[in-house]
Chains A and B, each alone.
Chain A
Amino acid sequence: MPSVKEQEANEDEIRRWRIPPPLLRDADSPGPEGLSILEEIRSEVGVILWKSLRSVLLWAEFEPDERKGLFDSDAPQRRRQEIERSIPAAKADLKGDLTALIPAVERPDEADGDALAAACGRIATWAESSGTPLTALEFLQAASLCAPRNARLALEIGYAVRELGQPARAESWFQRALGLARQVKDWEPYVLAYLAHGRMMMERGAYPAARQSYIKAVRRAGRQNMRNMEVEVLHDLFLLESRAGNTGRALSSAREALDVLTPDDDRVPEMARDMGIFWFQTGQFQHGFSVLREAARRVQGDERGRTLGALARAAGQVGDRDAFDWARKELDRWWDGPGAPEAWADVARGATALDLKQVAKEAAARAESGAQARDGDAGELAADLLLDTIKTELKALEAVEAQAQLLDTEQQRPHDELVQRVLSTLGDRSGG
């Protein structure tokens, strides 16, 4: 039992932070509340889901002492009969979960919000597995409104909405998640919500706001000893500072990430890859190349294509034909996944730097056809446009390289030290 003082401190904490209202709907899709369910499930089952959702949302909108008499007294019995009649016996779990929502209608002033939230959550899981994401989202939102202190649910909704391509709505849920997490001191969703918010701000080009979110996330992750999350945020912070052109801050974030990472951590190769790209883009081609060469041997999965492309480009720039050929062949042999068109564009860049005109042409054609197949439009990866752009890029890289060569020994030292450290961390991994 908390003391009066603790209780007051707790209440004070709750009062202090105002939580933004979440965006429950996409304003661009108006119409009756919850009707997206019937867009996905055009059947009697859909109507029962729709009605159940609306009852729960109505229930959640009112304070407990305002809920009495909210629904027609015959409504619970009618709902039971409809569930019995319309939900097939094969969907016994769904039947049970829909029945578990009836207390909101039957005894609105006594119904337990957590129990309703749990049933809504299970229905959302069922909907997700049935390939009806909008229905899943509706019930997740309802769950969050029934259990309004649950930060993890709010975070989950933010992710789901982001998947649907509604950034503002997703952001409102991330803001809510971190506000709730702060209130109840649930630090994992707090860090994850700041991380998600930081990423959205970075994509939008709002770097100071992104930095602020990352810093809050990394501080809290450090304080709570959440090493995994700390690394993830530091990696993002490094990418942010690289993009913003803050070399000193980027190096410092990378160093901090390496402090936390153990050599066998799965994220080491990807971190190394991004550091290699950073050195390449800042005109330190040899540093970039040596790190990318080691990283490319170790990065697997979806990120492998991008890494091989980056290596091909760097190898072209430093004139290492063997490494270029290896990267190109690996890409050809292994890779046909996400990022393939961009990777082939990088091969075209490397080939142009090596003056391999035919190879550059072929790689650009593969970039174009890949982008065409993926996006329906090659855009910037149209072969002719790409080859023209590459010539301009090469000139720009010469200027960046000239700038990098002006660094004096003192300025160069942190780069050299970090390169050694990355290479040695990669080398220390089990199996090299």
Chain B
Amino acid sequence: MKPAPRPLVVLHPDRLLRDRLQRVARRRFHLTTVDDWDDLREVVAEAPPAAVIVVDPYHGQEDSDEPSPQLKSVLKSYPSATVVAALETPPERYRDLWTMGDWGIAEILQVDEDVSSEAIRKRLLSARSQQLRQLLTHDYGVPLTGRARALLDAAVDTVMAGGHPRDLARELDFSPSTLLRWCQRSQLPNPRRLLLWMRVLFASALLDDPGHSVYTVGVACGYSGDQALRRAIRSVVPYTPSELREKGAFETVSRAFFDEVAGLRDDHAEKR
């Protein structure tokens, strides 16, 4: 496993912001700058899966002071991409902020406030985990405890950063043995398997987007290629990536994951 940098596509005239994003990107993101909405679509269509897009929502809106309908269209066209709007946020813009949230942007970068690398990094990292977290909230009739849900959220973050069980333990400020105990007590698979599931779930969410090849999905998820991804998928469900696509990849894999969690459920356990 190696952390795969995710594409970071930037459509924003603010040079200072672009420089800041460049500094933050380093090994986490592969940054590409574009000049207009058409370029943005072209680059995102050809980019590896799970791109993070940072846009000026008012780009090209010379005659209007509302967010561009192009933004709404991008959100609709690339459901597996994470879109972050970067703008100044004076109080008068309350309608725009709410509207963009309603359209489905993942985060807002306040260019007048989020100027430090730490602030920008935080916004980008929290945005990129949202989609998988949300997909995992679907009710499969397996109620998770608060502790289990917190572990799951942390596991999503770890997988998004290309991390391993030790990174998950570090994120939670645990020792590896405490993490193992917590997984048992929360009736979840052990940390290694939990991360494997999260990675395959991430891959299956990307496989549901027909624009991505199995190879690019594998690489985006930190595998060396399609063969490694196939092996990983096979270790949790008895399907090939193509079969998963036909069945609805995320739906199939998440059902299998929650079936495994249901199998670990023990209502007689004293510690939850």
CA–CA, A85 and B118, complex, Å: 29
Q: A32-B107, A75-B112, A209-B269 are in contact. Are A47 and B93 (CB under 8 A)?
A: yes
Contact of B115 among A23, A71, A171 (CB under 8 A): A71
User: Quick one: CB contact mask for B90-109 with A, threshold 8 Å, 1 for yes?
Assistant: 11111101101100111110
Interface flag for A324 (CB, 8 Å): no
Are A30 and B91 in touch, CB under 8 angstroms? no
What residues on A are CB-neighbors of B270 within 8 Å? 208-209, 211-212
Contact of B146 among A39, A85, A105, A173 (CB under 8 A): A173
Interface flag for A397 (CB, 8 Å): no
Interface flag for B243 (CB, 8 Å): no
User: Quick one: CB contact mask for A39-60 with B, threshold 8 Å, 1 for yes?
Assistant: 1001111111011001100100
Interface flag for B143 (CB, 8 Å): yes
B117 to chain A, nearest CB (A): 9
Q: A27-B134, A32-B107, A208-B267 are in contact. Are A174 and B122 (CB under 8 A)?
A: no
Are A30 and B122 in touch, CB under 8 angstroms? no
User: Quick one: CB contact mask for A193-212 with B, threshold 8 Å, 1 for yes?
Assistant: 00000000100111111011
Are B118 and A30 in touch, CB under 8 angstroms? no
Interface flag for A20 (CB, 8 Å): yes
User: Quick one: CB contact mask for B258-272 with A, threshold 8 Å, 1 for yes?
Assistant: 000000000111111
Are B112 and A38 in touch, CB under 8 angstroms? no
Stretch at the interface among A88-96, A162-170, A289-297: A162-170
The CB with the most chain B CB atoms within 10 A, among A47, A55, A205, is that of A47
What residues on A are CB-neighbors of B110 within 8 Å? 51, 54
Q: A30-B131, A42-B94, A168-B145 are in contact. Are A72 and B150 (CB under 8 A)?
A: no
Q: A72-B113, A208-B269 are in contact. Are A38 and B98 (CB under 8 A)?
A: yes
Stretch at the interface among A61-69, A246-254, A311-319, A418-426: A61-69
Interface flag for A350 (CB, 8 Å): no
Nearest to B151 among chain A residues (CB) is A20
A215 to chain B, nearest CB (A): 9
B27 to chain A, nearest CB (A): 20
Interface flag for B24 (CB, 8 Å): no
**Number of contacting residues on A, CB 8 A?**
58
What residues on B are CB-neighbors of A204 within 8 Å? 143
Interface flag for B140 (CB, 8 Å): no
What residues on B are CB-neighbors of A173 within 8 Å? 146
Contact of B116 among A28, A71, A206 (CB under 8 A): A71
Interface flag for B81 (CB, 8 Å): no
Q: A171-B145, A175-B146 are in contact. Are A32 and B106 (CB under 8 A)?
A: yes
Interface flag for A130 (CB, 8 Å): no
Contact of A38 among B94, B144, B172 (CB under 8 A): B94
Are B149 and A30 in touch, CB under 8 angstroms? no
Interface flag for A172 (CB, 8 Å): yes
A1 to chain B, nearest CB (A): 29
Are B272 and A206 in touch, CB under 8 angstroms? yes
Interface flag for A70 (CB, 8 Å): yes
CA–CA, A342 and B123, complex, Å: 49
B116 to chain A, nearest CB (A): 5
The CB with the most chain B CB atoms within 10 A, among A32, A69, A86, A175, is that of A32
What residues on A are CB-neighbors of B112 within 8 Å? 72, 74-75, 78
Are A172 and B150 in touch, CB under 8 angstroms? yes
Contact of B267 among A35, A47, A58, A205 (CB under 8 A): A205
Contact of B150 among A22, A54, A66, A70 (CB under 8 A): A22
User: Quick one: CB contact mask for B116-137 with A, threshold 8 Å, 1 for yes?
Assistant: 1011001100100011011011
Are B137 and A27 in touch, CB under 8 angstroms? yes
A113 to chain B, nearest CB (A): 18
Are A209 and B174 in touch, CB under 8 angstroms? no
What residues on A are CB-neighbors of B130 within 8 Å? 27, 30-31
Are A172 and B149 in touch, CB under 8 angstroms? yes
Contact of B97 among A23, A35, A82 (CB under 8 A): A35
A250 to chain B, nearest CB (A): 18
Interface flag for B153 (CB, 8 Å): yes
Nearest to A86 among chain B residues (CB) is B91
A258 to chain B, nearest CB (A): 27
Q: A30-B134, A46-B94, A207-B267 are in contact. Are A70 and B116 (CB under 8 A)?
A: yes
Q: A28-B134, A70-B116, A70-B119 are in contact. Are A171 and B146 (CB under 8 A)?
A: yes
B167 to chain A, nearest CB (A): 15
Are A61 and B134 in touch, CB under 8 angstroms? no
Interface flag for A18 (CB, 8 Å): yes
Which residues of chain A from 201 to 241 have any CB-CB distance to chain B below 8 Å in the complex?
Answer: 201, 204-209, 211-212
Contact of A75 among B93, B106, B113, B143 (CB under 8 A): B113
Interface flag for A431 (CB, 8 Å): no
Are A38 and B153 in touch, CB under 8 angstroms? no
CA–CA, A138 and B214, complex, Å: 40
B97 to chain A, nearest CB (A): 6
Q: A172-B147, A205-B267 are in contact. Are A72 and B134 (CB under 8 A)?
A: no
B236 to chain A, nearest CB (A): 21
Nearest to B132 among chain A residues (CB) is A27
Are B94 and A175 in touch, CB under 8 angstroms? no
Are A167 and B143 in touch, CB under 8 angstroms? yes
CA–CA, A48 and B92, complex, Å: 10
Residues of B within 8 A of A (CB): 89-95, 97-98, 100-101, 104-108, 110, 112-116, 118-119, 122-123, 126, 130-131, 133-134, 136-137, 143-150, 153-154, 172-174, 178, 182, 267-272
Pairs of residues from A and B, 8 with the lowest C-beta to C-beta distance, nearest first: A171-B146, A172-B146, A44-B91, A209-B272, A30-B130, A27-B133, A47-B91, A28-B137
- 24 A-B pairs in the complex with CB atoms less than 8 angstroms apart: A18-B178, A20-B150, A21-B172, A22-B150, A27-B136, A27-B149, A28-B134, A31-B105, A33-B126, A35-B97, A35-B101, A44-B91, A47-B91, A51-B89, A58-B118, A58-B122, A71-B116, A167-B143, A175-B146, A204-B143, A205-B267, A207-B267, A208-B268, A208-B270
Apart from A58-B114, A85-B91, A209-B272, 5 more pairs, CB < 8 Å: A21-B172, A28-B134, A50-B97, A72-B112, A204-B143
